[in-house]
Structure 1
Amino acid sequence: MSGEQAGPSFVTPGDAAAPSVVTTELIQKYLDENQQLILAILENQNVGKLAECAKYQTKLQENLMYLAAIADAKPAEPSE
Protein backbone atom coordinates (compact mmCIF):
# COMPACT_ATOMS: atom_id res chain seq x y z
CA MET A 1 0.00 0.00 0.00
CA SER A 2 1.30 3.46 -0.75
CA GLY A 3 1.49 5.96 2.09
CA GLU A 4 1.95 3.22 4.63
CA GLN A 5 4.67 3.95 7.15
CA ALA A 6 7.41 1.46 7.76
CA GLY A 7 7.42 0.28 11.34
CA PRO A 8 10.29 0.90 13.69
CA SER A 9 13.25 -1.47 13.49
CA PHE A 10 13.43 -3.71 16.50
CA VAL A 11 16.06 -5.06 18.83
CA THR A 12 15.38 -8.70 19.62
CA PRO A 13 16.33 -10.21 22.99
CA GLY A 14 17.30 -13.39 21.12
CA ASP A 15 19.56 -11.55 18.64
CA ALA A 16 22.98 -13.21 18.52
CA ALA A 17 21.95 -15.22 21.57
CA ALA A 18 21.54 -13.42 24.86
CA PRO A 19 24.35 -10.94 25.36
CA SER A 20 26.66 -12.09 28.14
CA VAL A 21 27.32 -8.50 29.17
CA VAL A 22 24.45 -6.11 29.65
CA THR A 23 25.65 -2.59 28.99
CA THR A 24 23.99 0.73 29.58
CA GLU A 25 24.06 1.14 25.79
CA LEU A 26 22.03 -2.05 25.34
CA ILE A 27 19.51 -0.96 27.96
CA GLN A 28 19.27 2.48 26.34
CA LYS A 29 18.65 0.78 22.98
CA TYR A 30 15.66 -1.03 24.48
CA LEU A 31 14.35 2.13 26.14
CA ASP A 32 14.63 4.05 22.86
CA GLU A 33 12.87 1.24 21.02
CA ASN A 34 10.12 1.18 23.64
CA GLN A 35 9.58 4.88 23.04
CA GLN A 36 9.26 4.21 19.28
CA LEU A 37 6.86 1.37 19.94
CA ILE A 38 4.63 3.48 22.19
CA LEU A 39 4.49 6.21 19.55
CA ALA A 40 3.72 3.64 16.83
CA ILE A 41 0.94 2.16 18.99
CA LEU A 42 -0.59 5.62 19.50
CA GLU A 43 -0.37 6.50 15.80
CA ASN A 44 -1.93 3.21 14.70
CA GLN A 45 -4.58 3.42 17.39
CA ASN A 46 -5.57 6.89 16.16
CA VAL A 47 -6.12 5.61 12.62
CA GLY A 48 -7.85 2.41 13.68
CA LYS A 49 -5.13 -0.07 12.71
CA LEU A 50 -5.71 -2.37 15.65
CA ALA A 51 -3.78 -5.32 14.21
CA GLU A 52 -0.68 -3.11 13.98
CA CYS A 53 -1.26 -1.94 17.56
CA ALA A 54 -1.38 -5.53 18.76
CA LYS A 55 1.88 -6.35 16.97
CA TYR A 56 3.66 -3.37 18.55
CA GLN A 57 2.14 -4.06 21.96
CA THR A 58 3.43 -7.63 21.83
CA LYS A 59 6.94 -6.40 21.03
CA LEU A 60 6.73 -3.76 23.77
CA GLN A 61 5.70 -6.44 26.28
CA GLU A 62 8.65 -8.64 25.22
CA ASN A 63 11.04 -5.71 25.69
CA LEU A 64 9.60 -4.86 29.09
CA MET A 65 9.89 -8.46 30.24
CA TYR A 66 13.50 -8.58 29.03
CA LEU A 67 14.36 -5.34 30.87
CA ALA A 68 12.60 -6.61 34.00
CA ALA A 69 14.64 -9.83 33.86
CA ILE A 70 17.83 -7.78 33.59
CA ALA A 71 16.76 -5.63 36.55
CA ASP A 72 15.90 -8.69 38.64
CA ALA A 73 19.20 -10.42 37.84
CA LYS A 74 21.41 -7.40 38.45
CA PRO A 75 22.42 -6.82 42.07
CA ALA A 76 21.48 -3.42 43.38
CA GLU A 77 24.32 -0.95 43.30
CA PRO A 78 24.84 1.07 46.47
CA SER A 79 23.80 4.70 46.07
CA GLU A 80 25.91 7.35 47.65
Structure 2
Amino acid sequence: MPERDDQIAHRRKKPGRPIDFGDQQRERYKGRNVVERCFNKLKQWRGIATRSDKLARNYHAGLCLAATLHWLSSSDH
Protein backbone atom coordinates (compact mmCIF):
# COMPACT_ATOMS: atom_id res chain seq x y z
CA MET A 1 0.00 0.00 0.00
CA PRO A 2 1.35 3.42 -0.81
CA GLU A 3 1.92 5.76 2.11
CA ARG A 4 -0.24 8.81 2.49
CA ASP A 5 1.42 12.17 1.90
CA ASP A 6 0.81 13.31 5.48
CA GLN A 7 2.54 10.20 6.83
CA ILE A 8 5.55 10.81 4.64
CA ALA A 9 5.72 14.45 5.77
CA HIS A 10 5.41 13.41 9.42
CA ARG A 11 8.20 10.85 9.07
CA ARG A 12 10.51 13.46 7.56
CA LYS A 13 10.12 15.60 10.69
CA LYS A 14 11.10 12.81 13.08
CA PRO A 15 13.99 10.36 12.88
CA GLY A 16 13.09 6.73 12.61
CA ARG A 17 12.36 4.29 9.85
CA PRO A 18 13.74 5.56 6.57
CA ILE A 19 11.23 6.76 4.00
CA ASP A 20 12.73 4.73 1.19
CA PHE A 21 14.83 1.61 1.51
CA GLY A 22 17.68 1.39 -0.94
CA ASP A 23 17.81 -1.55 -3.31
CA GLN A 24 20.36 -3.30 -1.12
CA GLN A 25 18.23 -2.85 2.02
CA ARG A 26 15.13 -4.02 0.19
CA GLU A 27 16.82 -7.28 -0.83
CA ARG A 28 18.09 -7.87 2.72
CA TYR A 29 14.61 -7.28 4.09
CA LYS A 30 13.12 -9.80 1.65
CA GLY A 31 15.59 -12.42 2.83
CA ARG A 32 14.88 -11.63 6.47
CA ASN A 33 11.16 -11.90 5.84
CA VAL A 34 11.58 -15.39 4.34
CA VAL A 35 13.58 -16.55 7.36
CA GLU A 36 11.09 -15.12 9.87
CA ARG A 37 8.16 -16.74 8.07
CA CYS A 38 9.99 -20.06 8.05
CA PHE A 39 10.59 -19.87 11.82
CA ASN A 40 6.93 -19.06 12.38
CA LYS A 41 5.91 -22.12 10.38
CA LEU A 42 8.30 -24.34 12.33
CA LYS A 43 7.09 -22.97 15.67
CA GLN A 44 3.66 -24.42 14.94
CA TRP A 45 5.18 -27.72 16.01
CA ARG A 46 4.84 -27.81 19.79
CA GLY A 47 8.09 -29.72 20.42
CA ILE A 48 10.09 -27.19 18.45
CA ALA A 49 8.40 -24.16 19.96
CA THR A 50 8.81 -25.35 23.56
CA ARG A 51 12.22 -27.02 23.10
CA SER A 52 11.15 -29.86 25.37
CA ASP A 53 13.77 -32.36 24.16
CA LYS A 54 16.59 -33.06 26.58
CA LEU A 55 19.19 -33.83 23.96
CA ALA A 56 20.25 -31.47 21.21
CA ARG A 57 20.32 -34.27 18.65
CA ASN A 58 16.65 -35.08 19.33
CA TYR A 59 15.70 -31.42 18.95
CA HIS A 60 17.72 -31.20 15.74
CA ALA A 61 16.03 -34.34 14.40
CA GLY A 62 12.58 -32.87 15.13
CA LEU A 63 13.57 -29.61 13.49
CA CYS A 64 14.79 -31.46 10.38
CA LEU A 65 11.60 -33.50 10.25
CA ALA A 66 9.37 -30.44 10.57
CA ALA A 67 11.37 -28.53 7.95
CA THR A 68 11.24 -31.48 5.55
CA LEU A 69 7.49 -31.94 5.96
CA HIS A 70 6.94 -28.21 5.47
CA TRP A 71 9.14 -28.24 2.36
CA LEU A 72 7.27 -31.24 0.92
CA SER A 73 3.87 -29.66 1.54
CA SER A 74 4.87 -26.30 0.08
CA SER A 75 6.82 -27.42 -2.99
CA ASP A 76 5.09 -28.06 -6.28
CA HIS A 77 5.48 -31.70 -7.20
Which structure dedicates a bigger proportion of its chain to helix?
2
Superposition TM-score, scaled by structure 1 size: 0.34
Superposition TM-score, scaled by structure 2 size: 0.35
The structure with more radius of gyration: 2
